[in-house]
């Protein structure tokens, strides 16, 4: 069986794959928007002077990072929504519960990793800076916002770009809960038309191009804004 490029350029299979690509990109985008603020919050918790908050932050990060994303997906699709009251459940299930569950799982998973990157970025700023801020009369949050975070950003952006790349790759796992993303559509083409080479080639090229663009952006940023050493 020869490689049939036309299959990818037009027709039903082409439409399926493009639809999958769109959904994958959309999920990654929405997850990123949701995960970033959550990650900043968790990082703040972990660095805050309040013991209970530190503990809460650590719990969040450890409980999420030590379980595979696939298990998160299964849990958030088959398990968690069942605990909701009937009315809400019915309303949720009438919509696109597959995509919602996938975004919930991806957001928590990505936020746990990003929180750690943000935390180590902040910790890389010398403690003296923080103490100086506090002794000048700034509150904990104000010191963070005005003195530490702007500097930490430079250190933190490259690992956050990497996490975005991981997020992009991780969207593929949503296939197990029936989300019609790129991997799901590629598998559908494979099983409907027995065209594995074409479908997988298309999906691989899509995953790879986005990944390489992200990698390139990360490297560019590092080149443009190198970490200043004291």
Partner 1 sequence: MSRTRFICIMILFATFFTPLTYADQLADIKKKGEIIVGVLGTDEPNSFIDPATRKIVGYDVDLSEAIAKKLGVKLTLKQLSVAARIPELEQGRIDLLAASLTHNKEREAKIDFSLTTLVTGQRVMVRKDSGITSVPQLAGKKVLTVKGGTQEPNIRKAVPTADVITFETSLQAFIGLQQGKGMGYVNDEVSLFNNYGKLGDAQKDYIILPQNLSIEPLALGIRKGEAGLKKEVDDALRVLEKSGEAEKLFFKWYGPNSKVKLDKRTFKIDSDKVDG
Partner 2 sequence: MGMIEVIQTYWVYFLIGQFPDGPLGGLTLTIVLAAGGLLLAFPLGFALAIARMSPWRTLSWPVTGVVYVVRGTPLLMVLFWAYFFLPSITGQKISQFSTMLGALVLFNAAYLSEIFRAGVQALPTGQFEAARSLGLSYFAALRLVVMPQVMRNMLPSLVNQFVSTIKDTSLGYIIGLSEVSFIASQINNLVLTKPTEIYLVLALAYFILCFGLSRFAFWIEQSHVRSHLSGGERSKMPRPVKRTLTEQT
Residues near partner 1 (CB under 8 A): 78, 81-82, 89-90, 93, 97-98, 176-178, 180, 184, 187-188, 190-192, 194, 196
* Residue 178 binds which entry of partner 1, partner 2, none, CB below 5-8 Å type-dependent: partner 1
CA-wise closest residue to 167 among 181, 153, 180: 181
Among 107, 117, 128, residue whose Cα is nearest residue 35: 107
Q: Does 12 bind partner 2 (CB under 8 A)?
A: no
Q: Taking CB under 8 A as the criterion, which residues in 117-176 touch partner 2?
A: 117, 120, 158-159, 161-163, 165-166, 169-170, 172-173, 175-176
For residues 140 and 221, which CB has a smaller minimum distance to partner 2 in the complex?
221
Does residue 80 touch partner 2 according to CB under 8 A? Answer: yes
CA-to-CA distance for 218 and 181, rounded, in angstroms? 25
Q: Among the candidate windows 33-41, 77-85, 96-104, 131-139, which touches partner 2 by CB under 8 A?
A: 77-85
Q: Answer with the entry of partner 1, partner 2, none that 119 interacts with (C-beta below 5 to 8 A by kind).
A: none
127 phi-psi bin (left φ>0, alpha ψ -120 to 50, beta other): alpha
Cα separation of 75 and 159, whole Å?
A: 28
Question: Residues 41, 58, 153, 187: which binds partner 2 (CB under 8 A)?
Answer: 187
In the chain, how long is the greatest CA-to-CA distance?
73
192 binds, among partner 1, partner 2, none (CB under 5 to 8 A by kind): partner 1
CA distance 98 to 116: 28
CA distances from 219 to 104, 203, 207, 215 (A): 29, 24, 18, 6
Contacted by 75, from partner 2, partner 1, none: CB < 5 to 8 Å by type: partner 2
Closest separation between CB of residue 53 and partner 2, Å? Answer: 20
Please give the distance of CA 131 from its chain centroid, rounded to a whole number.
33
- As to burial, measured by CB atoms within 10 angstroms (0-12 exposed, 13-18 middle, 19+ buried), residue 187 is middle
Residue 140 or 211 with smaller CB distance to partner 2 = 211
What span, in angstroms and rounded, lies between the C-alpha atoms of 126 and 136?
A: 16
- Which residues form the interface with partner 2 (CB under 8 A)? 62-63, 65-72, 74-75, 78-80, 82-83, 117, 120, 158-159, 161-163, 165-166, 169-170, 172-173, 175-176, 183, 186-187, 190, 196-197, 200, 203-204, 207-208, 211-212, 214-215, 218-219, 222
């Amino acid at each position: 069986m020869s490689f049939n490029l036309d299959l990818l350029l037009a027709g039903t299979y082409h439409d399926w794959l493009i639809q999958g690509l769109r959904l994958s990109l959309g999920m990654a985008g929405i997850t990123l928007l949701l995960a970033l603020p959550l990650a900043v919050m968790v990082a703040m918790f972990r660095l805050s002077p309040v013991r209970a908050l530190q503990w809460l932050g650590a719990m969040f990060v450890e409980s999420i990072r030590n379980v595979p994303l696939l298990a998160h997906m299964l849990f958030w699709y088959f398990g968690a929504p069942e605990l909701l009251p009937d009315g809400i459940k019915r309303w949720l299930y009438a919509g696109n519960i597959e995509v919602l569950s996938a975004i919930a799982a991806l957001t928590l998973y990505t936020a746990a990793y990003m929180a750690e990157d943000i935390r180590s970025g902040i910790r890389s700023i010398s403690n003296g800076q923080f103490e100086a801020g506090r002794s000048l009369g700034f509150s904990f949050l104000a010191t963070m916002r005005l003195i530490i975070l702007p500097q930490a950003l430079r250190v933190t952006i490259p690992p956050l770009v990497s996490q975005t790349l991981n997020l992009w790759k991780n969207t593929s796992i949503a296939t197990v809960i029936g989300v019609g993303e790129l991997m799901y559509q590629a598998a559908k083409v494979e099983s409907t038309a027995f065209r594995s080479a074409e479908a997988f080639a298309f999906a691989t090229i899509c995953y790879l191009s986005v990944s390489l663009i992200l990698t390139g952006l990360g490297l560019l940023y590092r080149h443009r804004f190198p970490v200043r050493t004291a």
